[in-house]
Structure 1
Amino acid sequence: MKIVVGFIDSPEGDAAIDKAVEEAKLRNGSLVVVHSKIGGRHDKAEDYVAMANALD
């Protein structure tokens, strides 16, 4: 099962990621993160790669 979550770099985006990770683990699924460049902060691409690696 794939869990899809939308993300912006904000407290709400962090909460969405946390819940999606929990669901993916619960259902032994994979996680697909859709990042919006509208809203939140816009850091360097390397920062997003680091966040993705932290999820593994």
Structure 2
Amino acid sequence: MVVALNDNVTVTDLALAAYERALEPKRLRTIPGGHFDPYTTQFDKASDAAVEWFREHLA
């Protein structure tokens, strides 16, 4: 799960609580910035985290 730490669209606290309730396998990557930063200014960090997880669990 990729969570923006200063998200004001999808509240960070709720996203982190959902992560805590999720079953394994799971991994959390936090990204500085707001809601859209994982898709724009932090895309490399967010997409690297996703690719890493998919390779580990779907390869």
- TM superposition score category, shorter chain reference: 0.3 to 0.5
Normalised by the length of structure 2, the TM-score is 0.36
TM-score using structure 1 length? 0.37
Q: Greater share of strand residues, 1 or 2?
A: 1
